[in-house]
Structure 1
Amino acid sequence: MSTPSIPFSARLRAASEGAHAAAESQRYVSALVAGDLDVAGYTDLVVQHQAIYAALESTADEMRDDPLAGPFVDDALHRLPALEADLAHLVGPDWADRTGPHAETVAYADRIRDTARSPERFVAHHYTRYLGDLSGGLHIGRAVARHYGLSGAAGTAFYHFDRIPEPKAYKDAYRARLDALPLTAESESALLEEALLAYRHNTAVFAALARHVPADGTEAAA
C-alpha cells in the first residue's frame, strides 16, 4: 500500500519552520507585542515594511502574466497603500522625506526585486510575507493598536485586510495553489531555498530594529 505524498505546502512549512521561529523570536518582535517600545520604535517597523512591500508589489506587477507566479498575484493582498496611510498618520504627509530604510531592509528589497527573473523564488517571498501577515500578523496588529494608543485603523491599516473577510479560507486556498504548482525538482529546491533566505532577511531587519529595544526593559525614550 503506497504512502500518501505530503503536500508541497506542508513540506514548505516544515522546511522553513526553524527559520520562521528564529525571525519571530527576535528581541524587537517580543518588545513590540509586549508594548515595551515607544511609538517611534513601532514607526520604524512601518518604514521598513513600506520599502519591503514596495519591492514585493512592484515585482508582483511584473509577474501577473507568469504562468507559475501569476495565480498568486492578488490586489486584495496588497499592503503598500495601507502602509503609506500609516506613515502619513504616524510621521506626517512628508514621511518619505523624513524616513528611510535600514541597510538590511535595502538588501531584502533588492533580493525580492531580483526574483523577477525566477518565478518560483518570487513565490517564496510572496508566501513568507502574505501568509505571515494573515496569520501572526493579525495578532501583532491588535497588540500594536492596544499598546501604542492607535484607534481604529489609524496607524495600523497594514494589519487590516478589508478585502479578505475570512483569512483562514484564503490561506487554505493559497496553500492549495502551492500544492498545485507544476514544480520540477530543481524549481522546488529553489523555492524552498528562497523561503529560507526570505526568513533570514526578515530576521536581519528585526535585528536592525532592536536598537529601539530598551536595555533595562522599560519603555524606550521618544
Structure 2
Amino acid sequence: MPPVRATAPQRGPGDPDVPLSRRLREATLDLHVQVERSVFMRALLRGTLPRIGHLLLMRNLHALYAALEAGLQRIADDVRLAPFAQPALRREAALAADLHAVHGPRWRDELALTPAMADYVVHLQRLSQAGAQRLIAHAYVRYLGDLAGGQRLRAVVARAQALPPGQGLAFYDFGDAAEVAALARALRAALDALGRDRPVDDIVDEARAAFCRHDAVFAELADLVEAGLRATER
C-alpha cells in the first residue's frame, strides 16, 4: 500500500495565515463585481458616459481623496503605514488639475457632491480622528484599483471625452508601466506585512464597507446624469 500523504489544510480568506492582500481581494470580490456592473460604471467602462458624468465623477473622487489623504498623512511617520501615504500615490492635486482643465476654475462650486459622497467624506474624517488602521482599507480599494483597472480606463476616458493630448488625465498618471507595477507591489507587500503584525479583521470589514459606499455613490451619480440629460432634452 502506498504511503498516505498529508495534505495541507485549505485556507480561506478568513484564515489569519492568508496574506492580507489576498484576504482583501477574496473578501471583496463579490462587491467589486457588483460595483463594476452598476449602471454608472458600465457606462464609464464602455466609454458611453456623457461629459457631465465624467465631471461629476472627478468632483466626487476629489472630495474622497482629499479626506483620505489628509487622514493618511497623519500616519506618514509610522514605518508600517507610511507606504500608504507616499507622495507618488496621492490623487487630490491631480484631480484638481484635471477638473480645472476640463471644467474650469469654478468646478468646486458648479459640480455637486452626492449625499452618499458627503457622508463618505464625514466617515473618512471620523476614521482619521479615531485611528488610522481602518483608513488602510480605503487606500486599498482606491489605490490598487487606480493602479490596475484605472490604467485601462485612461485610454477609454481620453477617447470618450475627446480630451486634448496631455490634458484632463493627470488622475491616471502614476508614471510608466514599471513604476505602476512597482507601486502596486509595494502596496501589496505593505498590506501583507501589516497582516503579519497585528489583527486586521477590521481592515477586511472596512474594505467591504468601502465598496458598498462606492456603490451608493455611483447609484446617485447615475441618477444625477439621467436627470441632467432629461433637463437638456426639454
Taking a change above 3 Å as real, the CA distance of residues 176 and 39 of structure 1, as seen in their structure-2 partners, is same
Aligned-partner SS, 1:166: helix
Within the candidate set 30, 53, 65, 2:77 is matched to 65
Query: Are 1:176 and 2:195 matched, yes or no?
Result: no
Within the candidate set 34, 47, 61, 1:35 is matched to 47
Query: Are 1:11 and 2:17 matched, yes or no?
Result: no
How many angstroms does 1:151 deviate by?
2.8
TM-score between the two structures when normalised by the length of structure 1: 0.88
Structure 2 contact 71–132 (Cα < 8 Å) conserved: no
Aligned-partner SS, 2:133: helix
Q: RCO (CA 8 Å, sep 6+): is it higher in 1 or 2?
A: 1
Query: Are 1:134 and 2:147 matched, yes or no?
Result: yes
Number of positions where the alignment pairs a residue of Structure 1 with one of Structure 2: 218
Query: Are 1:144 and 2:160 matched, yes or no?
Result: no
Deviations 1:86-143 (A, max 9, x none): 1111221122222231111111111122222222201111111100000111112211
Taking a change above 3 Å as real, the CA distance of residues 98 and 212 of structure 1, as seen in their structure-2 partners, is closer
Taking a change above 3 Å as real, the CA distance of residues 139 and 119 of structure 1, as seen in their structure-2 partners, is same
How many angstroms does 1:42 deviate by?
0.9
Per the alignment, residue 82 of structure 1 pairs with 94
Alpha-carbon distance in 2 for matches of 1:164, 1:124: 24
How many angstroms does 1:165 deviate by?
4.4
Give unmatched runs, 5+ long, in structure 1. none
Structure 1 contact 153–160 (Cα < 8 Å) conserved: no
Structure 2 contact 45–156 (Cα < 8 Å) conserved: yes
Alpha-carbon distance in 1 for matches of 2:65, 2:219: 19
Per the alignment, residue 174 of structure 2 pairs with 161
Taking a change above 3 Å as real, the CA distance of residues 46 and 93 of structure 1, as seen in their structure-2 partners, is same
How many angstroms does 1:212 deviate by?
5.1
Per the alignment, residue 122 of structure 1 pairs with 135
TM-score between the two structures when normalised by the length of structure 2: 0.84
The residue type paired with residue 151 of structure 1 is P
Alpha-carbon distance in 1 for matches of 2:65, 2:177: 18
Structure 2 contact 117–217 (Cα < 8 Å) conserved: yes
Structure 1 contact 54–80 (Cα < 8 Å) conserved: yes
The residue type paired with residue 148 of structure 1 is Q
Structure 1 contact 20–199 (Cα < 8 Å) conserved: yes
Give unmatched runs, 5+ long, in structure 2. 1-5, 12-16
Per the alignment, residue 14 of structure 2 pairs with none
The residue type paired with residue 69 of structure 1 is L
Q: CA RMSD in A?
A: 2.5
Structure 2 counterparts to residues 51-62 of structure 1, below 5 A: 51-62=63-74
Structure 1 contact 47–100 (Cα < 8 Å) conserved: yes
Alpha-carbon distance in 1 for matches of 2:157, 2:51: 9
The residue type paired with residue 131 of structure 1 is L
Taking a change above 3 Å as real, the CA distance of residues 77 and 17 of structure 1, as seen in their structure-2 partners, is same
The residue type paired with residue 184 of structure 1 is R
Per the alignment, residue 38 of structure 2 pairs with 26
Aligned-partner SS, 1:72: helix
Alpha-carbon distance in 1 for matches of 2:232, 2:106: 23
Per the alignment, residue 208 of structure 1 pairs with 220
Taking a change above 3 Å as real, the CA distance of residues 8 and 17 of structure 1, as seen in their structure-2 partners, is same
